[in-house]
Structures are given as C-alpha cells and as structure tokens.
Amino acid sequence: MKLKVRIAYGTDVERVRKLVKKLGQQTKDPDIGPLFLQPLKSRGVVKMEDSAMIMRVKFMTRPGDRFTPRWHV
C-alpha cells in the first residue's frame, strides 16, 4: 500500500523520514502488527505542490489485509 502524506514546506524531511522508519520498527499493536509483512517505509518527497510537499510512505501486507493498517497509519 502506498500512501501520500502532505507535509508543510519548511519541515525537516530527514526528520520525518527517520520518524516513519522508527514507527515502522515499532509496529507492535496486537491488532494490526501481525498484518504487516514489512515495516512502514518512507520513499521520500515525490512531488512538490503549491501548498505542500508530498511524501510517499509504503507498507506491505497480505492481499486483502491492506485496508485495516491503512486506517491506523
């Protein structure tokens, strides 16, 4: 699942990337943790818009399980 995250200009992108990585390593929620096949990962800024930078975040689940974690990320 690939998600687009809007971040404000002036935001420390490297810090956001590190926070996403840290969150991905700490996915231990008893309800959704087992659904992740790979940890949450940042793919960096993929687009610049007038009002925000667009950062892509992705994770991997089994087919059919992708929507449950999406609402928690």
Calpha distance 55→42 (Å, rounded) = 7
Answer whether residue 65 shows pLDDT above 90: no
Measure Cα distances from 35 to 9, 15, 60 in Å. 33, 26, 8
pLDDT in the model for residue 68? 62
Q: Is 50 exposed, middle or buried (0-12, 13-18, 19+ CB in 10 A)?
A: exposed
Tens-digit pLDDT profile for residues 12-29: 999 999 988 888 776 666
Q: What is the pTM for the complete model shown?
A: 0.70
Calpha distance 9→37 (Å, rounded) = 32
pLDDT in the model for residue 52? 96
